[in-house]
Amino acid sequence: MNKTLQMVFVSELGRNVTISVVDPRDDVTAEQVSAVMADILTHNTFIVAGARLIRAAGARVVSRGVEQILG
């Protein structure tokens, strides 16, 4: 099963921006993710389409399973 942590932010342009982390730790907590997102905002780590990220909108872990049936 593949897992991805998706952190969703809002930019100055009002657009949602998703930053994905492949294979996050299984024991990652909401508090840890919130702290990382706060650091990203505080340090203006990412500029997207010329706009700063101004607010955290949410985070989720997406799991995807693939079952090969041929080949």
pTM for this entry: 0.88
**CA 56 from chain center: how many Å?**
10
Give the count of beta carbons closer than 10 Å to the beta carbon of residue 31.
8
Structural domain spans, the chain: 2-64
Contact between residue 58 and residue 17 where contact means Cβ atoms under 8 Å apart: no
For the stretch 5-60, pLDDT in tens is 999 999 999 999 999 999 999 999 999 999 999 999 999 999 999 999 999 999 99
